[in-house]
């Protein structure tokens, strides 16, 4: 496998476009994403972790009328191509299917020529953790969907220490949120929504249009190679955060690129929004942010055994019930979310604050599942495959305003607190992503897949 990492947007051919429009005029976007992540030496979360190498990452995006995509908020396309080199400025952008000479997101040789300079808010980065230049990649982190309004970035935590103990693993973790953070992928996509006759600057979530994740979206491992799946695909997360929006007409490039949580001037901030006056509550998942949790009910046998052997109940004060009967987290009478088995959903209690080794009581990676409520670990509802598999239960991924340009920050990472992220090496395992977006809740699958569009050559 070569080391090229790319995202490609294919134009829908005329025949398929006509069929798609006939089938549903409500659908404005169908994104088929196929990402291949090579796991060179995957170990678990906090337990002897090395990295997951990202050798190839391919995304095919298919758009229909009314929607345009951009990497820099200036060059709007129906064909969008992203590589690791483009994100990092080593390669020029590809515009409408052709390489655009001297147009780079970050031009390190001639910074003044950068299409999307850091000064305008570009904090895109690839997962750069790894053993060497040929094996850069993902490493487990944890996120509770907190968005830092000062830097417009999602907060991530990673381990500082880990010690095995009766009842699981004692944990300390620190905040790694920064533009130069390693271990996860982050990139911006600008979405221009041309529907609607006018733009309303004031935020009102009820005025916006819902975007759904297609029911065919998956994260799997490649069974064609020599490796076998060891469950790492079941701990993947994809986070979507709408930072802000502007009118789709008459707004300067620098303003579009500079959309952030500050929301000054022509920019309407979408970060950390509340429902309204009185005693406001945060706008729930599915409006301005969401986290997709694929394979939510899938657990391989070894992951189940690991949890069964390690997780011991704790009291409200944090003491482990080591010498009592039925003290395992799977003992009779426990609540449903604590009982791990294949084809059964189990909550993930993600890290929401810095955890110190000196904290009393100490923190354990299974807190929340073992009966102890840890104030530094939070259960954050996600968009699961189970929820998304049925038209009756599907909820929106995000909402986007008519006649707007919205800046979406996308994160791809391994959630270390997921019980499926455990200590097991896997040589050369390949993960594959495939997801799409649609505006029609009832059109679970797009008319033609991205792979079909790509193979058609059109």
Closest-CA residue to 161 (of 249, 294, 46, 285): 46
Decide if pLDDT at 372 tops 90: yes
pLDDT of 292 over the 90 cut:
yes
Least confident span in 34-43, 129-138, 228-237, 273-282? 34-43
DSSP 12: P
Quick one: DSSP state of residue 353?
S
Tokens of 12: 């829908």
Higher pLDDT, 289 or 127: 289
> pLDDT-derived band of residue 33, with 50, 70 and 90 as boundaries?
very low
pLDDT of residue 223: 61
3 state SS of 20: helix
Lowest mean pLDDT among 225-234, 287-296, 444-453: 444-453
CB under 8 Å to 276, separation ≥6 — which residues? none
Average pLDDT, the chain: 77
Is-contact 275 283, C-beta < 8 A? yes
In this predicted structure, what is the pLDDT of residue 53?
A: 44
Measure the CA–CA gap between 266 and 245, rounded to whole angstroms. 8
* pLDDT reading at 161 higher than 90: no
**Of 236 and 2, more confident:** 236
Average pLDDT over residues 268-296: 86
- Chain segment 351-364, per-residue pLDDT in tens: 999 999 999 999 99
Rounded to 5 degrees, φ, ψ at 312 are -120, 140
Per 3-state DSSP, the chain is made up of helix, strand and coil in percentages (nearest 5) of: 10, 30, 55
pLDDT tens, 63-106? 445 678 889 999 988 666 777 788 888 889 887 777 777 899 99
Placement of tokens 């706008």 in the chain: 283
Band of pLDDT at residue 269, cut at 50, 70 and 90: very high
**pLDDT value of residue 394:** 87
* Res 264 pLDDT > 60: yes
Domain ranges of the chain: 6-149+180-297+388-456
Answer whether 312's CB lies under 8 Å from 324's CB. Answer: no
Average pLDDT over residues 37-61: 43
Read off the pLDDT band of 229 (50, 70, 90): low
Beta strands in 214-288 (DSSP E): 218-221, 236-247, 268-269
Poorest-pLDDT segment among 132-136, 186-190, 401-405: 132-136
**At 427, is the secondary structure helix, strand, or coil?**
strand
């Amino acid at each position: 496998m070569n080391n090229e990492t790319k995202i490609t947007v294919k134009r829908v051919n005329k025949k398929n476009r006509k069929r798609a429009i006939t089938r549903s005029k409500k659908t404005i976007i169908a994104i088929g994403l196929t990402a291949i992540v090579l796991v060179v030496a995957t170990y678990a979360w906090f337990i002897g972790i090395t990295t997951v190498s990202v050798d190839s990452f391919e995304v095919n995006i298919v758009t229909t009328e009314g929607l345009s995509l951009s990497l820099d908020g200036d060059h709007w396309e129906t064909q969008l191509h992203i590589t690791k080199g483009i994100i990092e400025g080593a390669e020029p952008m590809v515009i409408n299917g052709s390489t655009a000479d001297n147009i780079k997101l970050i031009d390190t040789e001639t910074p003044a020529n950068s299409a999307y300079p850091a000064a305008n808010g570009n904090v895109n980065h690839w997962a750069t953790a790894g053993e060497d230049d040929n094996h850069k990649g993902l490493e487990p982190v944890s996120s509770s969907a907190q968005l830092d309004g000062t830097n417009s970035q999602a907060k991530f935590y990673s381990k500082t220490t880990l010690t095995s103990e009766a009842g699981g693993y004692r944990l300390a973790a620190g905040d790694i949120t920064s533009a130069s953070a390693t271990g996860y992928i982050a990139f911006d996509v600008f979405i221009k929504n041309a529907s609607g006759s006018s733009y309303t600057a004031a935020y009102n979530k009820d005025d916006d249009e819902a975007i759904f994740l297609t029911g065919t979206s998956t994260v799997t491992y490649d069974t064609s190679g020599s490796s076998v799946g060891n469950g790492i695909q079941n701990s993947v997360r994809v986070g979507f955060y709408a930072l802000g929006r502007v009118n789709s007409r008459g707004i300067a490039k620098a303003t579009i690129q500079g959309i952030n949580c500050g929301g000054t001037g022509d920019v309407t901030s979408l970060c950390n929004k509340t429902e309204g006056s009185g005693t406001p509550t945060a706008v729930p998942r599915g409006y301005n942010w969401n986290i997709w949790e694929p394979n939510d009910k899938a657990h391989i046998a070894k992951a189940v055994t690991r949890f069964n052997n390690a997780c011991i109940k704790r009291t409200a004060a944090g003491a482990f019930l080591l010498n009592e009967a039925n003290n395992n987290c799977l003992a009779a009478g426990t609540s449903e979310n604590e009982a791990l088995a294949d084809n059964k959903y189990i909550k993930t209690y993600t890290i929401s604050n810095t955890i110190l080794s000196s904290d009393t009581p100490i923190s354990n990676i299974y807190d929340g599942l073992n009966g102890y409520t840890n104030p530094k670990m939070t259960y954050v509802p996600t968009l699961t495959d189970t929820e998304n598999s049925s038209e009756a239960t599907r909820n929106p991924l995000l909402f986007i305003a008519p006649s707007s340009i919205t800046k979406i920050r996308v994160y791809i990472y391994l959630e270390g607190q997921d019980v499926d992220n455990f200590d097991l090496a896997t040589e050369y395992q390949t993960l594959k992503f495939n997801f799409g977006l649609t505006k029609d809740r009832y059109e679970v699958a797009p008319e033609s897949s991205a792979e079909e569009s790509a193979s058609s050559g059109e």
